[in-house]
Chains A and B, each alone.
Chain A
Amino acid sequence: MGMLEIKNLHVTVDGKPILKGLDLRVGAGEVHAIMGPNGSGKSTLAYVLAGREGYEVTDGAVLYEGRNLLDLAPEERAREGIFLAFQYPVEIPGVGSNSFLKAAVNAVRKHRGLPEYDAMEFLKLIREKRDQIGVGEDMLKRSLNVGFSGGEKKRAEVLQMTLLEPRLAILDETDSGLDIDALKVVAKGVNALRSPERAMLMITHYQRLLDYVVPDFVHVLSDGRIAASGGKELALTLEKEGYISHRRPAAEPAAPRA
């Protein structure tokens, strides 16, 4: 059985159907890329898996390690090992990055029956990890994500992922807004987390990220369903031919690409 099994998932947002029968199976140790044009439902998939409010599941099921994922609150999903790297990490003035990280790591450790870190232990851990990801000490002294550049925000997401040690990491457009050097730094951090126990779902519009984090499987999402699946070479085909050949016949014309 896969770590994540999505069966016939239908989701509406504000009454509008976005996912229309999505099937996907992700096994431990696998890296899957979900590609698709704007409006195909990529970010909806990410948010539904993380448990955001406002996404109504009208049909289908999501099993995570054999359990019904949709029954769990967002914090329970996170503690059970699901991590969503946000496309747009939220700026939260007044919440210190360091104290946030400590609260998150300890909430997850507590759930997993591990002792919580005290301030000194946490400081030691964070020093070790932040250098690997290229997150400066000054960033962690600031309010969470406040005043971070696009690249800093994405590096901060990767640092959080590294500290929280998820079993299923969902990366939503992690490459967007990054120049090539920033992309390489982020990709290095992501690659360091690849392991036989950990699955990854990379949601991306462009093939570029996949040059640096090479997926095992590539799926094309179109009009709320998986329209095609294949190996990493599928991404290259898409790069050459665009999404058009994989678009499902739809009742209404799809929105033009940005």
Chain B
Amino acid sequence: MPRDSRTIPLPYADRFAAVAATMPGQNLPWLRDLRAQAIERVRQSGLPTIRNERWKYTNLNALAAAAFEPAAPEASSESPGPLPPLLGGCRVMFVDGLYRADLSAGSLPRGVTLTSQAALLRENPARARALFADHDAGADSLGALNLAFARDGYIIEIAGGANVEEPIELLHLTTPGTTAAAYHTRNAIIVQTGSSAAVIETFLHDAATVYWAQPVTEIRVGPGATLRHYKDQNEGAKAFHTATTDVRVAEKGRYENFVLTTGAVLSRNEIAVILDGRGASCRLDSAYLARGRQHADNTTSIIHAKPQTTSAEVYKGVLDDQARGVFQGRIVVEKDAQKADGHQLNKTILLSDRAEIDTKPELEIFADDVKCSHGAAAGELDEDALFYLRARGIGQADARRMLVEAFVGETLENISNLAVRAAFERRIGAWMSTGGEPA
């Protein structure tokens, strides 16, 4: 039978039937229907192939072929292993895609509430229903897959007027030894009028087991509110990580995002921001470091829907061995978004002649009084700079590390939370000093 070359069948979707009865909230008819519709959509449409423009550079064949199993419905009794030191005063733990109050530490700052998705479905299904209705992430097949399979996730709310300086840390781990499990979390961060907060999400795994992490996160930044959202993607070397973040920013609100990517054999970090009120702004930055045969895809979309909205974006990559990077950056300025200001830059250093970067800026401008720019560059480390450092006695490896850190450091300066910035600097230094193929 001829198959549509724009889709890849995903056998994993058929595993839904076996776990449906164990899904939280499956007793709620509206949710049962939503999930049934979602899984049907995945069965019909499969995963996108590279014939699909949005997936032109990222091939999901290996992901579709891996025989994933839905994550266990109950929390593992095994320890997730040693934990990294706390970044701030509180940590919210997720293990195997499930919220673990027992492993979380510290108390949330004043004005911050956190509810797990499973608890919300149990305790306040009406509110859960409203959140599901508000989030149309089921539109594409990965979104639909998450809608069907997500067992848990977090809903973080920052109360109006609260100013939370200390970063709220979310740590996502998987139990060592579990093989070929898929973890789907469904999350929301709601920042109310005039408040501000910082959230750092860390995805961490040391062991070389195959798994798939698929977080879907919906973010609402209220009028005059600010969210600083950081992500450290340090997944295991054989992991798949496909993340989707949808952000809507209200009048004079601000969203800042920084993603540090070093992990996973295949990762796709997709962020879509709608600047939906006059004077709303965002900044998206990233450092992606890959070696071996890693594939790191960053796909962003920023829609300037209202006047005087501003966006800035700097994505910087360092690729070694046969690693491949992808940057797709779309900026849309809608007809009414006069005086919009959008700037995008993607720069990559290729440390090996077999490394590859595919970069695709897309600007769609429908207003006439706007300032928009984009730029992309890829090249080797500057040989003149390398020789200059070595001619002063600095060894070749150290000189290369200094130049890479300097290159990436320019984006780190955009991280306004200093504790997070320092942690990311250490991570980048550690990445440079490990070298070689990931385990």
Contact = CB atoms under 8 A, between A and B. Distances in A.
Interface of A: 50-53, 73-75, 77-79, 84, 86, 89-90, 92-95, 100, 103-104, 107-108, 111, 143, 160, 164
A75 B396 contact: yes
A78 B396 contact: no
A75 to B, nearest CB: 4
B402 A108 contact: no
Nearest to A143: B406
Nearest to A74: B390
Nearest to B395: A75
A103 B393 CA distance: 8
B160 interface: no
Contact of A107 (B383, B398, B409): B398
B398 A74 contact: no
B407 interface: yes
Interface string B384-401: 110111111111101100
B385 A92 contact: yes
A167 to B, nearest CB: 13
B391 A50 contact: yes
B437 interface: no
B392 A92 contact: no
Contacts of A77: 391
B403 interface: yes
Given A94-B405, A94-B406, A94-B407, A160 B383 contact: no
Chain A to chain B: the 7 pairs with minimum beta-carbon distance, closest first = A94-B406, A78-B393, A104-B392, A74-B390, A90-B388, A107-B393, A108-B393
A78 B406 contact: no
Contacts of B369: none
B410 interface: yes
Among B385, B398, B405: residue with most chain A CB under 10 A: B385
A104 B393 contact: yes
A75 B395 CA distance: 6
B407 A75 contact: no
B396 to A, nearest CB: 7
B394 A75 contact: yes
Nearest to A52: B387
A51 B393 CA distance: 12
